[in-house]
Amino acid sequence: MKPIVLQLGPLHPIVEKGLAERYTRLHLGEAKDPEAFLAENAARIDAVVSSSRNGVNAALLDSLPNLKMVSHFGVGYDNVDAEHARSKGVVVSNTPDVLTDCVADLAIALMIDVARGLTAGDRYVRRGDWAAKGPMPLLAKVSGKRLGIVGLGRIGQAIAKRAEGFGMPIRYHNRKPVAGSPYGYEASLESLARNSDFLMVATSGGGATKGLVSRAVLEALGPKGFVINIARGSVIDEPAILEFLQQKKIAGAALDVFVDEPRVPEAFFALENVVLAPHIASATVETRAAMANLVLENLAQFFATGNAVTPV
């Protein structure tokens, strides 16, 4: 008998195809009455595939008595209650490594964009301002400036490597120093912010990092400092950063992630000192295919051996 896998919402076509070919696929997102559908099928579901759009909370875990595994599409799994899953003996996997390069590439792109005004300049040209008003105001140099990385994990390190190419001195803040890291450690995020021109947020989301980039941290970064966030919206105090941008108490921000995606507070739209991206750091054809394949490999290896390829 094929294992029964529950799909919560729309997924990458490679995942959908793989699920349909190899498993009995149940699609909660397509059920007319999702509650009734769940009640009817709960007892036979072996695995769930989740994504940033559709997570797995404790209630869902508790409602699936036969569940053995959650294969999550994405490296960040803050919307999967992994602790509760562990307590129930449910294995959770994610998709690390395969997206690191793309996320780091976009982080650097956002940093350069907000400092040099790429998308702002694009708007300037399209609006006809160049011809009407003359050159854009001068903006900020990137090369040689100080980069502070919040969260020196796989993605943080890939960003650091790229930033070395720009001659940027690099320091970082983590819960603990990273053994063997060539970069300077700051035990306090405020002191990292005080010593940075660009504060790069690359830590995981979830309760432990909620609001980590606080008012006090933004204050420490100061009016010449920039924030880049490719992690999770929840890591930054969003109302605070909006206010700091409006009042020019920081120089700018480039945000790929928001607290309540896909809804972005409209007050950001009026600001020229913020770059807004629709959560695209891993969104390339190549990387999303690699993530999709890893979601399937995790399921396949789990059902074959009891262990996932990349458990969390």
* 154 contacts ligand 8YV (rule: CB under 6 A): no
* Region binding ligand 8YV by CB under 6 A among candidate stretches 71-79, 156-164, 213-221, 233-241: 71-79
Q: Which segments within 169-238 are labelled E, that is strand?
A: 170-173, 184-185, 198-201, 226-229
Least separation, in Å, of the C-beta of 99 and ligand 8YV?
6
CA 273 to chain centre: 21
Nearer to ligand 8YV, 99 or 227 (CB): 99
Q: Beta strand 91-93 with 226-229: parallel, antiparallel or unpaired?
A: unpaired
| Euclidean distance between CA atoms 262 and 82, whole angstroms | 24
- Angle, helices 118-126 vs 100-116, to 10°: value is 60
232 is catalytic: yes
Nearer to ligand 8YV, 49 or 163 (CB): 49
Nearer to ligand 8YV, 73 or 303 (CB): 73
Residue among 164, 219, 261, 297 flagged as catalytic: 261
User: Quick one: which of 18, 55, 74, 148 contacts ligand 8YV (CB under 6 A)?
Assistant: 74
* 51 contacts ligand 8YV (rule: CB under 6 A): yes
- Is residue 82 within 8 A of residue 140, CB to CB? The reply is no
Residue nearest to ligand 8YV (CB): 74
173 is catalytic: no
HEC readout, 46-110: CEEEEECCCCECHHHHHHCCCCCEEEEECCCCCCECHHHHHHCCCEEECCCCCCHHHHHHHHHHH
C-alpha atoms less than 13 angstroms from C-alpha of 211 in its C-beta half-sphere: 5
Residue among 171, 173, 232, 288 flagged as catalytic: 232
- Angle, helices 285-305 vs 13-22, to 10°: value is 20
Q: Map residue 280 onto helix, strand or coil.
A: coil
Least separation, in Å, of the C-beta of 65 and ligand 8YV?
27
User: Quick one: which of 5, 99, 149, 155 contacts ligand 8YV (CB under 6 A)?
Assistant: 99
| Euclidean distance between CA atoms 258 and 19, whole angstroms | 30
Nearer to ligand 8YV, 120 or 291 (CB): 291
C-beta neighbour count of 239 within 10 angstroms: 12
Which residues between 75 and 94 bind ligand 8YV (CB under 6 A)? 75-76
* 52 contacts ligand 8YV (rule: CB under 6 A): yes
User: Quick one: which of 73, 172, 183, 303 contacts ligand 8YV (CB under 6 A)?
Assistant: 73
* Residue linked to tokens 């395969």: 98
Nearer to ligand 8YV, 85 or 295 (CB): 295
Which residues between 260 and 289 bind ligand 8YV (CB under 6 A)? 279, 282
Least separation, in Å, of the C-beta of 206 and ligand 8YV?
11
Which residue numbers are catalytic? 232, 261, 279
Residues within the interface to ligand 8YV (CB under 6 A): 51-52, 73-76, 99, 279, 282
